[in-house]
Amino acid sequence: MVYVGIVIFIAVLIYLFTAQRIGGNREEQFFNRFDTTNIIGRLEYAKIGYHGSVFKIEGIEKEFVFYPYTSEPNDNKIFYNVAEKGDLIIKEAHSDILKVKKNDKVYQYKFRKPNN
């Protein structure tokens, strides 16, 4: 019976270690897709997901995931509360700023990079 408990304990440790490694890689994959893409287009939707902000641009098949900071350039407003369908989203590849153009107002978001 003790051996069964030890085997289960080891299996749980291996599972937790593996899940943590996969989760870290997922965030890095999200960031690489977001960072290397030149984004300019109308917002289809924005929502919460993967402990960050998820958005989709009309005409681009994949969603983007990023982890924006609230600060003065965005009036301390959370991205997915500001961004609405039809807003213009602009982010050059490898840029550290994403812009949301909403009517005459421009909100600028810096964002967390993996391991920061």
Q: What is the pLDDT along the chain (116 residues), one digit of tens a residue?
A: 777 778 777 777 777 666 655 555 888 889 999 999 999 999 999 999 988 999 999 999 999 999 999 999 888 999 989 999 999 999 999 999 999 999 899 999 999 888 75
Residue 31 domain flag = yes
SS3 85: coil
- Could you give the C-alpha distances from 42 to 16, 58, 63, 90, in angstroms and in order? 39, 6, 13, 9
33 burial class (0-12, 13-18, 19+ CB within 10 angstroms)? middle
Instruction: Tell me what pLDDT residue 16 has.
Output: 66
Residue 115 domain flag = no
Residue 61 domain flag = yes
Give me the number of domains the chain comprises: 1
Residue 14 domain flag = yes
Domain span at residue 50 reads 2-109
Instruction: Give the dihedral of Cα atoms 107, 92, 56, 82; nearest 10 deg.
Output: 0
Cβ atoms of 21 and 37 closer than 8 Å = no
SS3 70: coil
